[in-house]
Amino acid sequence: MTTTPHPRDQVAPGTVTVFSDIWCSFAHVALHRLHTTRARLGLQERVRFDHRAFPLELFNNGPSPRPGTDSEVGGVAHIEPDAGWQLWRAPDWKFPSSSLPALEAVQLAKEQGLDASERLDLALRRAFWAQSRSIGARSVVLDVAEETSGVDAAPIAEGLDDGRARHAVTRDFACAREHRVQCSPHLYLPDGSDCANPGVTARWHGKYGTGFPEVTGNDPTVYAELLRRAAG
């Protein structure tokens, strides 16, 4: 018996539910493509993104190692360079040991509407992948929130401090395990369909943290169809 509703049963009309982690390079590609394709199609007022957490550190029982994310920049960034990338440039000790504070902040931003959570999610991804900022630190997460147009950082700070968003993240973790959400990113549409890592296939050479990813398929055109279906 499952304890959480199936993700496909919780997608509102005009919404794409996105399970992902912020320090996942493939999700960074997907969210960049979702935002840019939505703008190109003029669907900003008709389609919203509902972010749900796919916390890799809970699935993996540990944080993402810096060599792993650096290898993803080398192996994945070339398919969507405009998303913003760089190898980690801050001191090693500032590399985040957790993405949970950032994932919690995105859930807290939903209290201000899906538009606010979309903006904060995208800003936190860019902060990590393109700016080498430690998104595991409360102060950094709140700095990013304060810098993000359309986001009020004060209630996010309050929510991080009272811990109310941790349950949302762990609930999404339980949901992803129970209903076999495949990976970060995994999208669910209002018509009941879903798509894991849209348009991209890849394989790993060696173990994560010591090996590297190879993109074996890349079709960004699938996003237009996904968004048109979400728009109804």
* pLDDT tens, N- to C-terminus, the chain (232 residues): 678 899 899 999 999 999 999 999 999 999 999 999 999 999 999 999 999 999 999 999 988 888 889 999 999 999 999 999 999 999 999 999 999 999 999 999 999 999 999 999 999 999 999 999 999 999 999 999 999 999 999 999 999 999 999 999 999 999 999 999 999 999 999 999 999 999 999 999 988 888 899 999 999 999 999 999 999 8
Inter-axis angle of helices 100-109 and 114-129, nearest 10: 160
DSSP sequence for 22-78: TT-HHHHHHHHHHHHHHHHHT-TTT-EEEEEE--HHHHHTSPPPHHHHHHHHHHHGG
Residue type, 184: S
Neighbouring CB atoms inside 10 A of 191's CB total: 12
